Structures are given as structure tokens and as C-alpha cells.
Amino acid sequence: MSRLAKKTIVVGKTDVSAVNGVLTVKGAKGTLTKRIHPSVAIAVDAAGVLVTPKDQSRLAKMLTGTFASHVKNMVHGVENNYMKKLILEGVGYRVEVKGKDIVLTVGFSHTVPLAIPAGIAATVEKNIIKIEGADKEMVGQFAADIRRIKPPEPYLGKGIRYEGEVIRRKQGKKAV
């Protein structure tokens, strides 16, 4: 069993309930729900949330740490939003938010529209894309979907990269 699951998860100001196999976390920034695996038990009390295996199977022991991490992320997400920043680098590369879509112009013969999922806020400031939301998994997946459109290339560094990501550059051709 994981060390994370052995500790009680402090919930603070959030409201956590586990009823009929569904975990619900309500907070100031929103409400998140997740189905609970049948081999994991989640107990909510005044001290916090405790995740325990229902049996001694290997799967149950593995999932306790996973679900403890999910609960911790959900509690943190409804208190403080998760945020990812993407940087757009390249001559003529542009990005803008049009309604519920984010439209990228990144060197293709056409623009690339991408629908912003519900529960996520995307803002653009010059060449920086900010993605915010309560669900950590959703924020990370949407950021990865945007990055996948034009990943950074190693010769000139053009493309979409995460803030703080280091692109390993290659030298290119040499003149003899």
C-alpha cells in the first residue's frame, strides 16, 4: 500500500462525499465527481478523507495510492485552480480565442480551431496561452492537445512548448 494512502487527506473548506460509488468534491472553484473503483473504500469524516483497500489483492493495494492522489488533486483543484502555460514561438505564428474555440495559425495552409472543453478557461496574451481549471487531468490533457498541433522542433525551436520546458537544440548543417 502506498505511503500517500496511509495518511488522512485534509479537506479544509471543501465538502467531500462518497455515496453509491461516486466521489463528489465541492468547493469555491467548482464541483468535481469521480467514480470509485469497487476494490477501494473511501471514508469521509471531520478529520479528512481516508482511502483504504477493501481486500488484500494486489490491484486494491495499487489503487489506494492512485485514488488518494485523485482525492488530493480534486480537493486542491476546487480550492485553487490548476494552470498550465504554453508559449508559441515562430515567425508569423498566432493564437486567438474566438468564442468557445482557440484558433491557432502555426505555419499550416489553414488555421487550426480547437474547442475549449467545459470547465476550462483559456486566455491568450501575445504568444502565451493560459489554461485554467479545477480538474487537473482535464487541464493537462487540453494543454497536451494544443502542444500536439505543433510540437517544438530541435533546429530552430519553433512550435508550441510548455513554460519552463527546455528544448534540446541540434546544430544543423555546417558549411565546409
Domain final position from 38, 63, 79: 79
140 lies in some domain: yes
Closest to 44 measured CA to CA, from 65, 25, 58: 25
Q: Which residue has the higher pLDDT, 7 or 41?
A: 41
| Same domain (yes/no): 87, 158 | yes
| Same domain (yes/no): 115, 147 | yes
The one-letter code for the residue type at 168 is: R
The b/e string for 105-122 (b: 16+ C-beta within 10 A; e otherwise) is ebeeeeeeebebbebbeb
* Cell numbers standing for residue 100: 468557445
Q: pLDDT tens digits for 59-116?
A: 998 999 999 999 999 999 999 999 999 999 999 999 999 999 999 999 999 999 999 9
What's the whole-number mean pLDDT along residues 137-159? 94
What's the predicted TM-score (pTM) here?
0.89
Is 166:151 a contact under the CB 8 Å cutoff? no
